[in-house]
A and B are shown apart, each in its own frame.
Chain A
C-alpha cells in the first residue's frame, strides 16, 4: 500500500457574512465543514460535487491560498497549517495548482517563457537565464507545445493550448502534488480529451499525485483512482471509482450518477430526479444536510448528523440508512 502524501484532517473553512454599517459578522458561509481524507502517493483522488459544495475551497485551503478556519493539512508528515510564510513558500514547490479558466489564470502581459519560468525564478531552480530557458523549453516540449511558442503571449493561443501552458507552469518546479481545479471544464469537448490524456501521461512520467476537482462525474471517474463526493461542505462518500459506480451507497451519489445524461439514446435510465435546489451553505439544513432533497430520508435524518464511516474495504459514506442496515 502506498503511503499517504497528503492528509486532510477535520478541515473547516468558514467565510464571514458581513452586514450593516459597521460590517459586523452576522453569519458564516460554511463552505467546507469538517472534512477528512487522504491522498496516497502516486494516485489520483477525484473530488466531485455540484457548484457551491466546497470542492474548490477545499483545494485552495489545502494550498493555504485561503487560510483554514480549523483543521490540519499534513503533507509528507508535516502539518503545513503551522508553517510560516517562508517555510510555506518552500513547500509550495511541492504542491502546485492548475486552474479552471485558462483565460483568467495567465498574465496577458507575460510571454509563455516568463509565465512558465516565473516559478523557476521564485524557487531559484536555475543558475542563470540560459539554464532557466532551457528548462522552460523542455517542459513546454513535454506538454506538447514546441519551443517556438516561448516568446508568444497567452492571447495567441487557443483554450486547450493555454491550459497546456497552465500545466507547464505547475510542472516547472517539479512538484509532487498537483491540485487540478476543474482543469478541463472550460474546454471544448474534443480538446478536453487531449488535456485529460496529457495529465495522465505526465502523471506516469513524473510520478505525480493528483487531487482532481471537477463537477463532471464521468471525467472524474475516468481519471481518478478513488473518488470523494461532496455535498454542501461535507464529504458524503469516498471509495475507489469502480466501487462508486457499481455500488454507490449514499443516496446523493446515486442520484448524481443517475442524473448524468449518457451519450447513448438506447439507454433509458431509471432516473432519480432530485427535487429542489442545493440549500444555502449559510444556513445548512439540520442533521444530514441532504435530507430535504433525499428521496430516502426518514425521521432521524433531520435530527442527527450521520457519521462518516467505513462500510467495507475502503468504502466510506455518511448516511443513517446504512447504519440502520
Chain B
C-alpha cells in the first residue's frame, strides 16, 4: 500500500510480571492501520489481541503490565514514549475505544448524556449547553430513538444494544481518526449484532475514520475488515487482506480456525477440530508456538521460531511449512485428521 500508515506498530512487546512468572502477552507484534480502513484482529482468548489495543491506548495496567519494547507510531509520535499528560490528549480525541461490555464501561451513577457531554467539553473546549446539543446529535446519529429524552437516562435504563450505541456515540463525539473496537458485539444477540455492525460500517464511511476491530468471530471479521491480522500466543501468525485470508489461508492455525466453525450454507459430517488447547502464556513451547497443536509440526518447528515473512506480495505468514500446506490444500486433503474423541 502506498498510502502512509495512520498507526504503525513495530515489534511491540507487552509483558505482565506476575507471581508465577513473566507473561509475554504480546511478544513482537507488527502491523499497520491505514486511514479509513478496518483492520481486523482475530484470535482466541489469551492470544494478546486485546493487550495490543490496550497498549496503543496506553491503558495497560502497570504494574503488573509493561510495554517492554517496540514502537507505536501515530502521527509522527511514538505513543510508547509519551507522558501520561500527552497521552490523555490523544485518548478520546484522536483514538477512541469501545469495549465488549458497555455496562462496565459506562458509569452507572451518571446519565448517558453527562458522560458524553463530559468528553465533548474536555476535548473540544465548548460550553455545556453546546456540548449537550452535540451529545443529542451524536445519539441521533447512532440511531437512538428519542435522543432528547434518552440523553437524561441512566445506563441501566437502556438495553445492551442501546448501551453499545451510547458507547459508540461517546467514542465518536470528538471525531477520532482511529476507533478501536474490542469485541464490540460479543455480548449482544445476533439481531442486535447485525444492527451494531451496520451502524459501524455506515459511520466509518461518513466519518472516514479507521477502525481496529478485535474479535474472535471470523464471521464478523469477514464482514467488516479490509485487512486482517491473525494472532496466536502473542504473535501475528498471518497478515493479509480479507479476501486472500479467506480464499487462501496460509497458516495451519488460520486454516484450522476456518474449518472448525460450522457454515450455514454447507453441510459437513464432522468439523475439523484443532486438537488440544491454547498453551499457557507462562510456558509457551520452544520454536513455533503453534507446534503443540499443529499436525504439520516437525524438526525445525520445535526448535526455531519462524519469522513473519512475505509468502506472496501483501500476504505474510509465520510458518516454516506454509508451502507444504499449500500442496496439501491443492490435493484437497484435510490436515486436521480425525482424532476421534481424543484431544
Chain A positions within 8 Å of B, measured between CB atoms, are 50-51, 142-145, 158-161, 164, 188-194, 196-198, 200-202, 215, 217-219, 221-222, 242, 245, 255-267, 271, 273-275, 277-278
Q: Is the CB of B260 within 8 A of A189?
A: yes
Contact B343 A262, beta carbon cutoff 8 Å: no
* B160-191 near A? 1/0 per residue, CB < 8 Å: 11100000000000000000000000000111
* Contact A190 B257, beta carbon cutoff 8 Å: yes
Name A52's closest neighbour in chain B (CB-CB). B189
- Mask, B188-217, CB within 8 Å of A = 1, is 011111110110000000000000000011
In the complex, what distance in Å separates the CA atom of A274 from the CA atom of B193?
10
Q: Please measure, in the bound complex, the distance between the C-alpha atom of A255 and the C-alpha atom of B193, giving whole angstroms.
A: 12
CB-based contact B262/A198 at 8 Å: no
Contact between A193 and B263, CB atoms less than 8 A apart: no
Query: Do A190 and B222 touch across chains, with their CB atoms under 8 A apart?
Result: no
Asked whether, in the complex, the Cβ of A277 is within 8 Å of the Cβ of B192, the reply is yes
Nearest 10 pairs between A and B by C-beta?
Answer: A261-B219, A222-B262, A193-B273, A193-B260, A259-B194, A50-B189, A193-B271, A190-B274, A263-B218, A188-B44
**Given A188-B216, A263-B221, 8 extra CB contacts under 8 A:** A144-B342, A189-B216, A190-B256, A191-B277, A218-B261, A221-B262, A259-B193, A261-B219
Q: How far is the CB of B168 from chain A (nearest CB, A)?
A: 16
Residue of B nearest to A51 (CB): B189
| Chain B residue at smallest Cβ distance from A194 | B273
Residues from chain A with Cβ under 8 Å of B242 in the complex: 265
Shortest A226–chain B CB gap in Å is 14
Smallest Cβ-Cβ distance to A262: which chain B residue: B219
Tell me how far the C-beta of B339 lies from the nearest C-beta in chain A, rounded to whole angstroms: 8
How far does the alpha carbon of A191 sit from the alpha carbon of B260 in the complex, in Å?
Answer: 8
Q: Are A262 and B264 in contact, CB atoms less than 8 angstroms apart?
A: yes
Question: Does B79 sit at the interface, judged by CB under 8 A?
Answer: no
Given contacts A158-B277, A218-B263, contact A144 B219 (CB under 8 A): no
- Whether the pair B271, A259 counts as a contact (CB closer than 8 A) is no
CB neighbours (8 Å) of B261 from chain A are 189, 192-193, 218, 263
Q: Give the chain B neighbours of A188 by CB distance below 8 A.
A: 44-45, 216, 277-278
Partner of B246, one of A190, A217, A259, A263: A263
Can you name the residue of chain B whose Cβ is closest to the Cβ of A271? B194
- Name the CB-closest residue of B to A199: B341
Summed over the interface, the residue pairs from A and B with CB atoms below 8 Å come to a total of 147
**B298 at interface, CB cutoff 8 A:** no
- In contact, B190 and A215 (Cβ under 8 angstroms): yes
Q: Is the CB of A192 within 8 A of B340?
A: no
Per-position 1/0 for B300-343, Cβ under 8 A of A: 00000000000000000000000000000000000000001111
Contact A263–B263 (Cβ < 8 Å): yes
In the bound complex, residues from chain A placing their C-beta under 8 Å from that of B268 are 222
Choose among A242, A257, A261 the residue that contacts B222 (Cβ–Cβ < 8 A): A261
Please state if B190 and A160 are interface contacts (CB–CB under 8 Å). Answer: no
Bound: A38/B192 CA distance, A: 30
Which residues of chain A are near B222, meaning CB under 8 Å?
Answer: 261-265, 267
B277 and A274 form a contact (CB under 8 A): no
Let me know if A218 and B264 touch, CB within 8 A: yes
In B252-299, the 8 Å CB interface with A consists of 256-258, 260-265, 267-268, 270-275, 277-278, 293
Closest A residue to B215 by beta carbon equals A261
Expressed in whole angstroms, the minimum distance between the Cβ of A258 and any Cβ of chain B is 8
Collect the chain B residues with CB atoms within 8 Å of residue A221's CB.
Answer: 262, 264
Across the two chains, which residue of chain A brings its CB closest to B45?
A188
Tell me which of A161, A201, A222, A245 contacts B340 (CB under 8 A).
Answer: A201
- In the complex where A215-B190, A219-B262, A263-B263 touch, is A197 in contact with B197 (Cβ < 8 A)? no
Query: Which residue in chain B gives the minimum CB-CB distance to A245?
Result: B264
Chain B: minimal CB distance from A49 (Å): 9
Distance of A260 Cα from B257 Cα, bound (Å): 17
Task: Assess whether B191 is in contact with A256, with CB atoms less than 8 Å apart.
Answer: yes
A240 to chain B, nearest CB (A): 12
Residue B223 at the chain A interface, CB threshold 8 Å? yes
In angstroms, Cα B273 to Cα A222, docked, is: 14
Is B152's CB within 8 Å of the partner chain A?
A: no
Q: Would you list 24 pairs from A and B whose C-beta atoms are within 8 A, ordered by A residue?
A: A50-B189, A144-B342, A158-B277, A159-B277, A161-B277, A188-B277, A189-B44, A189-B218, A189-B257, A190-B256, A194-B275, A194-B343, A196-B271, A218-B261, A219-B262, A222-B262, A258-B194, A262-B223, A262-B265, A263-B246, A264-B222, A265-B242, A277-B159, A277-B161
Contact status B162-A192, CB under 8 Å: no
Kindly state whether residue B220 has any CB partner on chain A within 8 Å: yes
B243 interface residue (CB < 8 Å to A): yes
Chain B residue at minimal CB-CB distance from A192: B260
A203-B237 Cα distance, complex, nearest whole Å: 36
Chain B: CB-nearest residue to A223: B262
Contacts of A197 in B (CB 8 A): 270-271, 273, 341
Task: Give, as a whole number of angstroms, the nearest-CB distance from A138 to chain B.
Answer: 13
Q: State A196–B259 Cα separation when bound (angstroms).
A: 13
CB distance from B100 to the nearest CB of A (A): 14
Tell me whether A261 and B217 are in contact (CB under 8 A): yes
Contact A218 B341, CB 8 Å, known A255-B191, A262-B222: no
Point out the residue from B45, B162, B256 that lies within 8 Å of A277, measured CB to CB.
Answer: B162
Contact A274 B341 (CB under 8 A): no
- Shortest CB distance B229–A (Å): 15
If the complex has contacts A144-B343, A188-B216, A197-B341, are A274 and B195 also in contact, measured as CB distance less than 8 A?
yes
B220 to chain A minimum Cβ distance, whole angstroms, is 5
Given contact pairs A190-B256, A197-B341, A263-B246, A273 touches B195 in the complex (Cβ within 8 A): yes
Shortest B1–chain A CB gap in Å is 18
* Contact between chains at A278 and B263 (CB < 8 Å): no
Q: Are A265 and B262 in contact, with the CB atoms below 8 A?
A: no
Please name all residues of chain B whose beta carbon is closer than 8 Å to the beta carbon of A164 when the two chains form the complex: 343
Contact call B341/A278, Cβ cutoff below 8 A: no
A158 to B193 Cα, complex, angstroms: 28
Q: CB-nearest residue of chain B relative to A246?
A: B265
